[in-house]
Amino acid sequence: MEIELFVNGKKEKVKVQPNVTLLHLLREGLMLTGTKEGCGIGQCGACTVLLDGRAVNACLVLATDAQGKEVRTIEGLAQHGELHPLQRAFIECNAIQCGFCTPGMVMVTVALLKENPHPTLDEVKEAIKGNFCRCTGYKKILGAIQQAADEMARRV
């Protein structure tokens, strides 16, 4: 079947099988490989994208359920050649080791900061609890998120 959706601000018209996930459409159909496939069952958060502004595990969403909706991936965060403050903070705070969890971690945090621009440390921990990192121990990730939140709050 053919569906139409908006990916990173661009209208896409694609043919998909009814059982294809949004994750596979993004990675294999649209070649947006920043979204990672981890567990495939919604447990690790590596595939987190924004669907109409809400963080979702793309491995659990059928591509057909994205019909007419806005999908934002890690590739769509940078604007006019400028990294999103979260992307920049992850780099500056050395919150990236292997990088596999980073896109999902950043995307879930983008959703958090849009909803809650001044989260407490406990609120940040709650927001990222479904995103697993096996490398960093989370301390630098939490620091990067707080740094980005502070920077974004100053811009408003």
The enclosing domain of 47 has a CATH number of 3.10.20.30
* Residue 101 clears pLDDT 70, i.e. is over it: yes
- Judge if 69 and 91 occupy the same domain: no
State the CATH number of the domain containing residue 135: 1.10.150.120
Q: Which domain holds residue 95?
A: 85-155
**Percent of the chain with pLDDT strictly greater than 90:** 93
pLDDT digits (tens, 9 = 90+) for 35-46: 999 999 999 999
Beta strands in the chain (DSSP E): 2-7, 10-15, 48-51, 54-57, 70-72
Mean pLDDT to the nearest integer, 52-66: 98
| Average pLDDT value for the chain | 95
* Residue 72 clears pLDDT 70, i.e. is over it: yes
pTM for the model: 0.94
Is the dihedral angle over the CA atoms 128, 117, 97, 70 positive or is it negative?
Answer: positive
- Judge if 90 and 70 occupy the same domain: no
Q: Looking at 41, 76, 111, which one is the last position of a domain?
A: 76
Query: What is the tally of structural domains in the chain?
Result: 2
* Residue 156 clears pLDDT 70, i.e. is over it: no
- Judge if 47 and 94 occupy the same domain: no
Where b means 16+ CB within 10 Å and e means fewer, 105-143 reads bbbbbbbbbeeeeebeeeebeebbeebbbeebebebbbb
Q: How many angstroms from the chain centroid is the CA of residue 104?
A: 4
- Judge if 151 and 90 occupy the same domain: yes
Mean pLDDT to the nearest integer, 89-102: 93
Mean pLDDT to the nearest integer, 5-30: 98
| Long-range contacts at 78-84 (CB < 8 A, ≥ 24 apart) | 84/110
- Judge if 11 and 72 occupy the same domain: yes
Out of 3-17, 19-33, 92-106, pick the least confident: 92-106
* Residue 2 clears pLDDT 80, i.e. is over it: yes
- Judge if 147 and 128 occupy the same domain: yes
